[in-house]
Chain A
Amino acid sequence: MPTLVCTAKASCKKLPGLLELTDTHLQWTQDGKRAPSIRVSFKEANSLFCSKEGAPQVRLKIGLLGNDVGHNFTFTSPQPVASQEREKFKQELTPIIARNKQLDAKPPILAAPQPVPPASVAAAPLASGNAPRLPPAVAAAAGPSFQSHSRAASVAAMDRRGTPVITGGDPAAEFRLRKKVLMNNPELGALHRDLVMTGQITEAEFWDGREHLLLAQQAAESQRKGKSGQLVDPRPETVEGGEIKIRITPQLVHDIFDEYPVVQKAYSENVPQNLSEAQFWQRYFQSKLFNAHRASIRSSAAQHVVKDDPIFDKYLERDDDGIEPRRERSEKPDLFVDLGATNEDHGELTVERDITMQAGRQKGALPLIRKFNEHSERLLNSALGDLPPIKRRRLDDGAEVFHQIEIEDLQDGESSNGIVLEMADRQRYFEGGVAGSTNKGAANGQQLDPKAIISESRNSLSDWEATLSGLKIERLAGDSALRSMTQNVAARLDVRSKNNDIPIGIFTQMTTCQTAANEFLRQYWSATLPQPPELQTAATATPAQRAAKAVKMIGYLAKTPEKVAAIVMQAQSSNVDAAKVEMAMKPVLESVNRAIAYHQTREAASIQRRK
C-alpha cells in the first residue's frame, strides 16, 4: 500500500481537487471523483517551478520527462497555509527531481524513491520562521537506524563481510521491493506478467533464486545520498544598479549553520528579538564575519565594501593563522602516523629551515587550509559518525598493528575448499585409477638407469639437424584450416547482410515462448540440482517440495514443443520462412528435451530403487 507523504487542497485546470504525494507518485484527484485523474510517477518528474513568494496565487508546476508543459497546480487553502503546503511539496519533490536529473543518462535502476534525507527535515522549520533545530539533534534522531543502514549499503573495503539480510518478517516491505524490482526491470516485469499473473507458477517460485535482485534493490534504497563535498560559498550575483544579490535557500541556510556554528549562535541570539530574518541575512553578508568565513585571497579585494557591524563583529574570531591551530586538539594520533612524536624525538632543531620551507608563512592561506581539513573531517563524520580516534582504534583488534606492516603477497594464500566434483560412475573412475597406478608401480619397480636414459636420449637426438631439415609440414591441413576460417567469416557476413524478415508479431511470440521456457528450465534445474552451500538458508524448501516443483515444471516444459509447433504453423500461414523459425527455436527445444529426458531417467531410477 503506498503511504501518503503529504496532501493539500489544490486546483488543476481550474477544477478543485486534492493533491497528494505518496512515496512513489504525485497524484491529483478531482473533487467528487474516486480515482486520481493525474498520476505522475517520481521517475517521470523532471522539473519543478513555483510562483514567487508573495504572489497572489500559490502555484506549483511540475514538468515531466519529455513533456515540459507538465501540470499546473494552484494551492487553494487560505494564504499562509497554502504557501506552507507548497513549501512542503517542494521540499519533498526537490531531492527526487535532483536525483532524476543526475541519473538521466544512466538506466533507471537507482531511480527508486528513497527515504527523505534528514537534512531537508531539519531545514523545514526554518522556512516557517521557527527557531532552528540544532543539527546534532538531527544526527541523534537518525542515529540508530543510520548505523544499520550504512553498514548494509556501504561499499567500504572493511565492511565487505556484512552481507545484508533480507527483511524476512515484513511481507509488506518485501512486496514493495518486488514491485520496485519489476518496475525497474521491464523484461522481468513482462515475464512476471506472463507467468505469475496467469497463475502458471507462484509468486514464491518466481522469486526463488532471484533474491539477489531484491537484496540489491534494498541496498540501493538504503543507500543515502551523502552530503555534497563542496564548501559552502554563496556566490553573489550582480544585478543592475550595482547591487549585489545573494539568493538564500533553506538548504543554504542549513549549510551555513552546519559549517559555521557561530552564525547559528548569532541567529538564535538575535532573531527575532534584535533583527528580523531578512535583516539578519542582509547584515551577515555585509559583515566582516562573512568575509572571514569565505577565507580566500579573493575576499581581501572585497575588504573595502565590508561594513562594521556592532552585532556581527561581536562574533568575529581572530584569524586562525598561527603556526599552532587556535582550536586545541587533545587526541593523540596513532603512533604510525604521529608526526608530532618525530618533532619531539630529539632535541629542538638548532637550525632554521630556509624561508621556502618554513610552513605557515602565507598567513592568508592558513585559515583556508584549516577550513579544508575541518570541512573534510565534518563530511566524514557526517557519514561515519565521529568516534574519537582512540575509541575507533580500540574497535580494531590487536592484529591491526601487524596488519599494517605485513606484506600480503609473501604469505601463502590459503587454498579454498573447492567444490566437490560429482560424477556418474565414480566407482569406475577409481578402478581405472587403481589399474593405472599398479601399472606404474611395475614400471617403478624396475630401477631406472640415468646413464641409460641419457645415452638413449642422446642417440635419439643424434643427427637431429638432418631430421629437422627433412621435416615437411603437410599443406593440406593448413589449407583446410584457412578454408574453414574463410567460410566462417563468409557465413557471418551473410547473416549480417540479410534482413531480419520475421514479422514483429511472430517475433514477440517467439521471444515470449523462449523466455517462458527458460524460466521453467531455471525453476526445474534449481529444484533438481543440489544447492550451493552458501545459499542454503532457513527458508529452503524441503526435498519433497522440491520434487513436487520439479514435476510441475516438467509438466509445463512438456507443453513447450506444442507451443513451438503452434508458432511454426502461424509462421507458415503468414508466409514466413517456417524453417527459420524452427531453427531459431531449436536450442530451446533441445534444452527442454534434455530436461525431460533427464527427468525421465531419474524417475525410472528412483522407481527401480524403490523396487
Chain B
Amino acid sequence: MKFYIDNLPIIFPYDRIYPEQYAYMCDLKRTLDATGHCVLEMPSGTGKTVSLLSLIVSYQQFYPTKRKLVYCSRTVPEIEKALAELKRLMAYRMKCAETEEERQKEQNFMGLGLTSRKNLCINPTVAKEKKGKVVDAKCRDLTNSAACEKGRADPGSVELCDWHENLGKLDPGNLIPSGIWTLEDVLDYGREKVICPYFTVRRMMAFADIIIYSFHYLLDPKVAEQVSKDLSKDAIVVFDEAHNIDNVCIESLSIDLTRPMLDSASRSIVKLGERIEEIKTTDAAKLQDEYAKLVEGLQDDDANADDEDVVMGNPVLPDDLLSEAIPGNIRKAEHFVAFLKRFVEYLKTRMRVLHVVAETPLSFLQHLKDITYIERRPLRFCAERLQSLIRTLELNRLDEYSSLQKIASFATLVATYEKGFLLILEPFETDTATVPNPVFHFTCLDPSLAIKPVFERFSSVVITSGTISPLDMYPKMLQFTPVVQETYPMTLTRNAFLPLVITRGSDQVAISSRFEVRNDPAVVRNFGSILVEYSKIVPDGIVAFFPSYLYMESIVAAWNDMGILNEVWKHKLIFVETPDANETSIALENYRRACDNGRGAVLLSVARGKVSEGIDFDHNYGRAVIMFGVPYQYTESRILKARLEYLRDAYRIRESEFLGFDAMRNAAQCVGRVLRGKTDWGLMVFADKRFARADKRSKLPRWINQYITETASNLSTDMALTLSKLFMRTISQNPNENQTGVSLWTLEDVEKAQAKQKELALQAEQNAGSDDDEYGDGGLSDNALMDFDLDV
C-alpha cells in the first residue's frame, strides 16, 4: 500500500498495516527530521524490521540527500532476515513504481550485508578451516598487497587467491550489479563469477545505500576502524534488537588474559626477534624505511593502507587516535621486541599471585613503572607499533600471533583509559577450585565509552527492540539524549498470547531458580512436571529456557534420572542446546522438521544463550515458551559486582534495580520469540515464584505486562494447565470478528487516522490561539463539520 506521512510517500509492502507499525513509522520519521537519536520499543513479531526499512527507504528515495542507512543487528540469522526483508520490500517497490524514471531509481538502489571472511569465503583451501581466526590469517596471506605485487610480477612465485585476483580485473565501482544482495545471494554470485564475495562487499560498501552488519562493526573500535571509517556523518544508524547493546559495548573494550595466552605471546616474541635478525641480513633497508616512516608519524601510513593490509585494528576509539609520532624508545624493531618481552614477563609475574586483586588502570601503570620502568606513553602505542612491525616483516599465518596482538591491545587500552575500567586478577576459576587457573580480566565497566563515538559522529541513531523496557534505562546507561522515546502497546482483537506466572507446583511447593532451592528435588520435580504436562496438551513445538547452561545441564541429567524425560518422550521429541554451535543448529533444524511434521518437539535451551538470540519460534515452531526460573546473571561474578558498583556510583542505578531489569529483559526476549503477526498465538509460561512480584513484572515490556491478569499472576501448575487448555480451545476457533480497523488497518483506516490527527492538531492550535474557546463543549465545531466531505 502507499500512503503519506506528512508529505513523504511511504510504500509499505503489504495490503494492510498494524496501527503499531504506523505509529512506529511516524515516530521514526520525526527522529529523522529532527536529526536526533531515539529509543523505540515495539512488540515482538509485529513487523518492526519491515516498518523500519519501509520508512527509511521511502525517506532515502524521496529526499535528494540520499542519507545512507547503516543497519546493525545482533546475529547472522537476523542480518540475513533483514536482507531478505529488504529484498522483498524493493521487489514490491519495483512493482509499485509508476514511471520508468521511478523504476530506474528503484533499480539503482543497492543494499549489502557484511559478515566475516569465515562466512563469506569461497576459496576451498581457505574456507575449509574451522576457525575464523585461521581463515582471516590465510586470507591475508593470499591477498595482502606485498604478496599480490610479488605474485603478479612473477606468476607462480607466491600463492594468490583467484577469487580476489579476478576482483582486481573488474571496474572498481561496479563489482556487482545494483540491487539487494543477501549473504546467500552474494555467495552464489561469487561462485558463479569466480570473485571474492567478502571483498566485493567491502569495496562496494561505499556505493551501497543500505549496509546491514553486526553491532561489532560499529561498536568494536578494532573492527570499526577498518570497516566503518568512511561512513558519512549524515548516515542513519539503526541498532535493531538492541536490548543487549550495553553488553556488546562492554565486551568490545574488555580483554581477558590467561597463562597459556602469555606463553604463546612469549613464543611469538621470540619468533619476531628471529625474523628481525633475518631481515637485517637480507633486507636491512626495509627496517630503515619503517623507522623513517615512524618518525614522520602514523597518519600518513594509515592513509594508503588497503583493506587487505590491515593486520589488526587499534582498540582505541577514533577520537583518541594519536597524531603524534611513535615514541623513540620503541621505534627500532629490536627495541620494541625487547619492550614487549619485558611487558609479557611482568604480566606473567602478576599471574603468580594466589589471591584476588582488583585495581584501577592507574595503579596498574604505577606498579608497572616501579617494577619494569615501562612508561605509559610507549605502552599506548603498542598496538600501532606491532601492526607496523608485522607489515614490515611481511609475516604469514597471523593467527599464530593472535595472543601477542591481544596483549598489545591490552597494553594500549590500559594506558589510554583511566576511568570506567578495572583490572581484576582471579587466580582460581571457582571458589572451590584448588588448582590455579589465573585469568587477568581487563574489564570495561561503562558501556557509554564504546558507543560514544557513534552518537557523536552520526546525526540519527535509532535504538530499537521488542524488549527495551524500562525505556529511560538506556539513555542513562549509554549517556545520550533521545528526541523520541516511545513504547507501543499491542492492539489485539483477541488475546493472541497468554502469559502465565506459575509460582508453585500442583503440590503447592513454591518453585524458584533461586540458588538455595534450585537443586531441591521438589523444585526439580515440579519444574519437570510443568514440562511433562505442557508437552501433553500443547501441539507442535515447545521451547523451554533455563537461566544458565550450568543449570540446564544439571537439570537435564536430574530429569533423566527421575524418569521425567521418559514421560516427555511419550509425547514429543527432545532437543537440547549443546556447547557446539553447529551441532545446535542441526538440532534446531531437526526440531523444526519435527514441528512441521506434526510429531512435535521440545527444545531445551538457555536464556542469553545461542538460541535465545536471533532464532524465531513463530507459529508451529513455538506454541508455548516456558521460562524455568528468572534469568539473573551470576551474581557471584566479580566483574558483575564491579560493574554494579560503577553503575551505582556513576549513574545512580541501584544494584537490585539493574539486576532485575537485566533478568526481565532477557526473560521477555525469550518469550517474545513465539509471536509473528497477530494471527499467531502462543503461551508464555513464567515458572518462578519471583515473577509474581510486582517489581519484577513492572520491568516487563508493556505489551506483555498489559495481558497478565491478576488471576494469571499467581498460579499453581494445575490451575495454569486449566487456563492454558481453555485458552487453546478458544484461540483455535476461527476468529469471528474482523480484525480490520482495530488491530489491522487498511489504507482507508490509515487515512482516517491521519485526518483525525490533523483535526486534533488543528484543534489544539485553535485552542491555543483563541482563549474564548476554552469553555467550549470539546466537540466538533460547526466549521469542522462543514469541512467534512460528506460521502452520500
Q: Give the contacts of B565-583 with A (CB-CB under 8 A).
A: 565-566, 569-583
B105 in the interface (beta carbon within 8 A): no
Which residues between 207 and 234 of chain A lie within 8 Å of chain B, taking CB atoms?
Answer: 226, 228-231, 233
Is A362 located at the chain interface by the 8 A CB criterion? yes
B611 and A365 contacting across the interface, CB-CB below 8 Å = no
Contact among A329, A340, A342, A405 with B84 in the assembled complex (CB-CB below 8 Å): A405
What is the CA–CA distance of A402 and B87 in the complex, to the nearest angstrom? 9
Smallest beta-carbon distance B523→chain A, Å: 17
Does the CB pair B560–A354 fall under 8 Å? no
Residues of A within 8 A of B557 (CB): 296-297, 362, 364-365, 368
| With contact pairs A296-B560, A407-B14 given, residues A340 and B582 touching in the complex (Cβ less than 8 Å) | yes
CB–CB B256/A329 < 8 A: no
Least Cβ distance of B663 to chain A in Å?
Answer: 13
Task: Give Cα A356 to B635, complex, Å.
Answer: 10
Decide: B222 and A409 in contact? CB cutoff 8 A.
no
Contact A338/B556 with A372-B574, A384-B597 known, Cβ cut-off 8 Å: no
Question: How far, in Å, is A195 (CB) from chain B's closest CB?
Answer: 38
Which of A16-24, A81-89, A343-351, A523-531 lies on the face that meets chain B? A343-351
Residues of chain A within 8 A (CB-CB) of B785 are 454
In the assembled complex, how far is the CB of residue A291 from the closest CB belonging to chain B, in whole angstroms?
Answer: 14
Q: Which one, B80, B443, B582, B744, contacts A336 given CB within 8 A?
A: B80
B81 contacts A359, C-beta separation under 8 Å: no
Size category of the B interface is 35 or more
Q: CB within 8 A of A341: which of B76, B443, B580, B744?
A: B76
Q: Do residues A345 and B116 form an inter-chain contact, with CB atoms below 8 A?
A: yes
Complex: chain B residue closest to A350, CB-CB: B255
Contact A346 B88, CB 8 Å, known A405-B81, A408-B677: no
Flag if A335 contacts B561 (CB, 8 Å). no
Whether B85 pairs with A405 at a CB distance below 8 angstroms is yes
B59 at the interface (CB under 8 A from A): no
Which residues of B, 439-456, contact A by the 8 Å Cβ criterion? Answer: 439, 441, 443
* Segment at the interface with B among A31-39, A98-106, A375-383, A431-439: A375-383
Q: Which residues of B contact A409 (CB under 8 A)?
A: 16, 677-679, 739, 744
Contact of B589 among A155, A298, A337, A342 (CB under 8 A): A337
From A154, A347, A356, A360, give the contact of B548 (CB < 8 A). Answer: A356
Looking at chain A's contact residues, the main secondary structure is: loop
B679–A408 CB distance below 8 A: yes
Shortest distance from the beta carbon of B473 to any chain A beta carbon, whole Å: 22
- Which A residues are CB-close (under 8 A) to B640? 354
Which residues of chain B have C-beta atoms less than 8 A from A368's C-beta?
556-557, 560
Contact A380 B597 (CB under 8 A): yes
- Quote the shortest CB–CB distance from B585 to chain A (angstroms): 4
Contact of A376 among B18, B443, B571, B594 (CB under 8 A): B594
Residue A352 lies at the interface, judged by CB distance under 8 Å to chain B:
yes
Question: Is B676's CB under 8 angstroms from A407's CB?
Answer: yes
B67-96 contact mask (Cβ, 8 Å, vs A): 1 or 0: 000000011110111001100100000000
B47 at the interface (CB under 8 A from A): yes
Q: Does A339 contact B (CB under 8 A)?
A: yes
- List chain A residues, Cβ under 8 A from B439: 352
Q: Do B639 and A342 have beta carbons less than 8 Å apart?
A: no
Asked if A325 is at the interface (CB within 8 A of a chain B CB), the reply is yes
Residue of B nearest to A150 (CB): B597
**Is A125 in the interface zone, CB < 8 Å from B?**
no
Please report the C-alpha to C-alpha distance between residue A296 and residue B564 in the assembled complex, in whole angstroms: 13
A346-B217, A376-B590, A410-B17 known; A339 vs B573 contact (CB < 8 Å): no
Q: Which of B81, B576, B582, B790 has the most CB of A within 10 A?
A: B582
**For residue A297, which residues in chain B have a CB less than 8 angstroms away from its CB?**
557-558, 560-561
Interchain Cβ contacts within 8 Å, total number: 280
Docked CA distance A87–B595 (Å): 38
Question: Which residue of chain A is the closest to B735 with respect to CB atoms?
Answer: A409
For A469-500 the 0/1 string (1 means CB < 8 A from B) is: 00000000000000000000000000000000
Contacts of B588 in A (CB 8 A): 333, 337, 339
* Among A229, A362, A410, contact of B14 (Cβ-Cβ < 8 Å): A410
Q: Contact: B585 with A343, CB < 8 Å?
A: no
Contact A402 B633 (CB under 8 A): no
Query: Please, how many angstroms separate the alpha-carbon atoms of A156 and B439 in the complex?
Result: 52
Q: Does B608 contact A (CB under 8 A)?
A: yes
Check if B220 is an interface residue, CB within 8 A of chain A.
yes
| B739 x A355 contact (CB < 8 A) | no
* Residue A448 at the chain B interface, CB threshold 8 Å: yes
Q: Indicate whether A425 reaches chain B with its CB closer than 8 angstroms.
A: no
Interface residue? B592 (CB, 8 A): yes
A367 to chain B, nearest CB (A): 10
CB-CB under 8 A from B576, the residues of chain A are 369, 372-373
Interfacial chain B residues near A229, Cβ < 8 Å: 569-573
- Complex Cα spacing A341 to B113, Å: 13
Assess the A362–B597 pair: CB atoms within 8 A.
no
A345 and B744 within 8 A (CB): no
- Which A residues, 431 to 465, have Cβ-Cβ distances below 8 Å to chain B? 448, 450, 454
With contacts A230-B569, A368-B557 known, is A337 near B596, CB below 8 A?
no
> How does the 8 Å CB contact mask read for B532-564 relative to A, with 1 for contact and 0 for none?
000000000000000111110110111011000
Partner of A410, one of B47, B77, B571, B599: B47
* Total count of chain A residues near the partner, CB < 8 A: 77
Give A476 to B561 CA distance when docked, in angstroms.
74
CB-based nearest A residue for B430 = A355
User: Does B609 interact with chain A (Cβ within 8 Å)?
Assistant: yes
A412: interface (CB < 8 Å): yes
Closest residue of B by beta carbon distance from A451: B786
Whole-angstrom distance from the CB of A299 to the nearest CB of chain B?
Answer: 9
Distance, CA A404 to CA B251, complexed state (A): 32
Whether B726 is near chain A, meaning CB under 8 Å from some CB there, is: no
Is A389 on the interface with B (CB-CB < 8 A)? Answer: yes
Closest to B568 in A: A229
Residues of chain B contacted by A412 (CB below 8 angstroms):
15-16
Q: Does chain A have a CB within 8 A of B406? A: yes
**Which of B430, B581, B592, B596 is the one whose CB lies under 8 Å from A156?**
B596
The complex places the Cα of A409 from the Cα of B551 at a distance, in Å, of 39
Which of B15, B136, B566, B585 is within 8 Å of A337, CB to CB?
B585
When A229-B572, A296-B560 are in contact, do A360 and B579 touch as well, CB less than 8 Å? Answer: yes
Contacts A324-B580, A335-B77, A373-B576; is A347 near B585 (CB within 8 Å)? no
Answer whether residue A179 sits at the interface, using C-beta atoms and an 8 A cutoff.
Answer: no
Q: Does B620 sit at the interface, judged by CB under 8 A?
A: yes
Q: Determine if A366 is an interface residue (Cβ-Cβ < 8 Å).
A: yes
A residues in contact with B133, CB < 8 Å: 347-348
Find chain B residues with CB under 8 A from A337 CB. Answer: 77, 585, 588-589, 592, 615
Complexed CA–CA distance, A354 and B426 (Å):
12
Asked if A354 contacts B598 (CB within 8 A), the reply is no
Asked if A411 is an interface residue, CB under 8 A from chain B, the answer is: yes
Bound: A151/B252 CA distance, A: 51
List the B side residues contacting A155 at CB < 8 Å: 598
Q: Does B587 contact A (CB under 8 A)?
A: yes
Contact A345 B76 (CB under 8 A): yes
Tell me which residues across on chain B come within 8 A of A366, comparing CB atoms: 553, 578-579
Q: How far is the CA of A383 from the CA of B119 in the complex (A)?
A: 33
Interface hits, A254-298 → B, CB 8 Å: 296-298
Counting from the closest, the 3 A-B pairs by CB-CB distance are: A360-B579, A359-B579, A410-B14
Of the A-B pairs whose beta carbons lie under 8 Å apart in the complex, a sample of 6, sorted by A's number, is: A329-B582, A329-B583, A345-B214, A350-B254, A362-B557, A368-B557
- Known contacts A355-B634, A368-B557; 13 additional CB pairs below 8 A are A230-B570, A324-B583, A337-B588, A337-B615, A342-B75, A344-B119, A346-B216, A347-B220, A349-B251, A356-B550, A366-B579, A370-B578, A405-B84
* Residues in B lying within 8 Å of A, measured CB to CB: 14-18, 47, 50, 74-77, 79-81, 84-85, 88, 115-116, 118-119, 132-133, 136, 182-184, 214, 216-217, 220, 222-223, 251-252, 254-256, 402, 406, 409, 429-430, 439, 441, 443, 547-551, 553-554, 556-558, 560-561, 565-566, 569-590, 592-594, 596-599, 601, 606, 608-611, 613-615, 620, 633-634, 637, 639-640, 676-679, 739, 744, 785, 790, 792
